[in-house]
Amino acid sequence: MRYSVFSVLSQALKGNTGWKPVWREPEPKAEYDVVIVGGGGHGLSTAYYLAKNHGITNVAVVERGYIGSGNIGRNTTIIRSNYGEHGNIPFYEWSLKLWEGLEQDINYNAMVSQRGVLNLYHSDAQRDAAARRGNTMRMHGVDAELLDVAGVRKLVPNLNFDNARFPVYGGLFQPRGGTVRHDAVAWGYARAADSRGVDILQHCEVTGIRVENGHALGVETAKGFIKAKKIGLACAGRSSQVAAMAGLRLPIESHVLQAFVSEGVKPLIDTVITFGAGHFYISQSDKGGLVFGGNIDGYNSYAQRGNLPVIEEVMEEAVAMFPSIGRLRVLRHWGGLMDMSMDGSPIIDKTPIDNLYLNCGWCIGGFKATPASGWCFAHLIAQDAPHEVASAMRLDRFATGRLINESGTGAQPNLH
Amino acid sequence: MRISCPHCGERDHGEFAYYGDATKRRPDGASDVETFFEYVYPRDNPAGSHRELWYHVGGCRAWIVVNRDTRTHEIFSVEVARKRGEPSQGAGAGAP
């Protein structure tokens, strides 16, 4: 069913009794042209763009849990393209452009809200770095505005401007950045891919990858062997384990990142704001809850829960920026697996095994990349060549030295 | 998560800095590029028992090797890195 004003109105008159499930629950076929391992945002968008851009519709997305059960349903929902490295900027800008047209493209309300992303700076040196980043962005055709303190006051009057330790000097603002309803991204891509013939196989864990003479032949799953002409891995925090099934070792460590939602309050913060003197980002959801987070905990973890020192740090940063929220209560918080790469940038590339393709290393920033990641991974799988805007995201860059070192912290994943 | 430092006793993990996989050993400086690549980049990244280096920066400043379950954060053992002849970066505060 195509969604429109008329479909919503007619359902309202019928008491909303006519809505059908928005994707099928098929049994696996014996063979597919492409099997995508991982039904998160990146896997679903890859399947959708394989069908839409390349006409490859005999595709399965194989998911261990259910659609929306991983990080695509648990993140701080921020989209932006304020990067500073040449290998990153065109990719993330393409992703932002895809977000801008996503809802019309997939006929699904993802609540894309370009409410702006503001990165605060707190010293002269940070202002110079912000100006440099803003100029780099503008040279790549990305929007950026350097605001002085008066400009920030106009935008966010309730910040703690005169903090004795970290006074606000100004901010770098990207007006086209913002937030997206994360669950709707998963559901919308799943529905759009399904409607083009993609099979979404939930509760179908991959237990092995069959490789003979350097060729990938298919995947062993909880529902039996599925033959595949090509296999794409989009497994986020579980990438190391799934790649190991094909004998690969990755430049990845899995870490835990925590995030938080406060109780709902009246409109208080109408943009996305990041703290320049720590690592902290905050926005307000349409339900009124403040959605915020900070650094990863900093140690290898698959536990999907973190520890108290990071929670304390995040709360301190929140109150340093907005003393007025000090008495708000945290409604819930969670921890998710991050596939931290060794230079802080992602990998979209072929592997040394024929017909096996890799998409991983998104660190703490995978959500905003969901459309372009799928777009470029689908291109790689269909054309057997990297897409122009993802051509630097190679697996062999760690051996050749062509790193995309956005944060400049070296091969130390807990510092990205 | 609390870590039992061999010198200081059980302390909150916030007192410690994390360095990562303790099975990696810095190759001899004359080693070829492939050997250094193997040291710096690929990781086993296991879900389960993981031997890892921590530095007790908020305490005795010893480098320690912790064997920890990455699925549950349960700690199986803690040893002083130097005693076990762990990698040279475990030998001083200036490391790595």
Residue type for position A370: T
Interface test with B, best of A252, A299, A315, A396 (most B CBs within 10 A): A299
| Cβ-Cβ contacts under 8 Å, A303 against chain B | 70-73
Is residue B19 assigned to a domain? yes
Give the mean pLDDT of A192-197: 98
How much of chain A exceeds pLDDT 70, in percent?
100
Is residue B60 assigned to a domain? yes
Give the mean pLDDT of B12-25: 94
Q: Would you give the DSSP letter of residue A354?
A: B
Residue type for position A407: S
Task: List, for residues A342-378, the tens digit of each pLDDT value.
Answer: 999 999 999 999 999 999 999 999 999 999 999 999 9
Beta carbons of B71 and A303 less than 8 Å apart: yes
Spatial CA neighbour of A119 closest among A165, A177, A158, A75: A177
Residue pair A233/A280 in contact (Cβ under 8 Å)? The answer is no
Asked whether the ipTM of the predicted complex exceeds the cut of 0.90, the reply is yes
Q: Determine the pLDDT at residue B85.
A: 63
Q: Which of B21, B37, B70 sits opposite A301 (nearest CB)?
A: B70
Q: Which of B14, B43, B50 sits opposite A309 (nearest CB)?
A: B14
Residue B82 has pLDDT above 90, yes or no: no
Residue pair A234/A58 in contact (Cβ under 8 Å)? The answer is no
* Residue-by-residue DSSP string for A125-180: HHHHHHHHHHHHHHHTT---EEEEHHHHHHH-TTS-TT-SSS---EEEEETT-EE-
Q: Determine the pLDDT at residue B87.
A: 53
Is residue B92 assigned to a domain? no
Residue pair A50/A232 in contact (Cβ under 8 Å)? The answer is no
Query: How many residues does this entry show for chain A?
Result: 416
Q: Determine the pLDDT at residue A198.
A: 98
Instruction: Provide the shortest C-alpha distance from residue A286 to chain B (in Å).
Output: 34
Sign of the dihedral defined by the CA atoms of residues A300, A305, A309, A311, in that order: positive
Give the mean pLDDT of B50-58: 97
Residue B91 has pLDDT above 80, yes or no: no
Q: Determine the pLDDT at residue B96.
A: 42
> Alpha carbon A236 to chain centroid distance?
10
Place of tokens 């069908």: A51
Residue type for position B5: C
Print the domain residue range for B7: 2-80
Half-sphere exposure in the Cβ direction for A303 (13 Å, CA): 20
**Chain B contact residues (CB < 8 Å to A):** 1, 12-14, 18, 20-21, 33-34, 37, 40-45, 47, 50, 52, 68, 70-73
Give the mean pLDDT of A152-178: 96
Token pair in block for residue A301: 């973890």
Q: Determine the pLDDT at residue A259.
A: 97
Q: How far apart are CA B23 and CA A301, in angstroms?
A: 17
Specify the range with the lowest mean pLDDT, choosing from A190-194, B2-6, B83-87: B83-87
Is residue B93 assigned to a domain? no
Q: Determine the pLDDT at residue A58.
A: 98
Task: Tell me how many domains chain B contains.
Answer: 1
Residue B86 has pLDDT above 70, yes or no: no
Q: How far apart are CA B65 and CA B78, in angstroms?
A: 6
Beta carbons of B13 and A299 less than 8 Å apart: yes
Query: How many residues does this entry show for chain B?
Result: 96
Residue type for position B23: T
Q: Determine the pLDDT at residue B84.
A: 66
Is residue B30 assigned to a domain? yes
Residue A300 has pLDDT above 60, yes or no: yes
Specify the range with the lowest mean pLDDT, choosing from A15-19, A61-65, A110-114: A15-19
Q: Determine the pLDDT at residue A1.
A: 81
Q: Which of B44, B52, B73 sits opposite A303 (nearest CB)?
A: B73
Residue pair A262/A328 in contact (Cβ under 8 Å)? The answer is yes
Beta carbons of B71 and A251 less than 8 Å apart: no
Is residue B65 assigned to a domain? yes
Q: Determine the pLDDT at residue A248.
A: 97
Task: List, for residues B34-48, the tens digit of each pLDDT value.
Answer: 999 999 999 999 999
CB A148: neighbour CB atoms within 10 A? 11
Is residue B87 assigned to a domain? no
Q: Which of A253, A299, A399 sits opposite B37 (nearest CB)?
A: A399
Q: How far apart are CA A362 and CA A88, in angstroms?
A: 12
Is residue B40 assigned to a domain? yes
Q: Cα dist. A347→A53, A341, A397 in Å?
A: 21, 8, 9
> Alpha carbon A391 to chain centroid distance?
19
Q: What is the CATH number of the domain that holds B66?
A: 3.30.2270.10
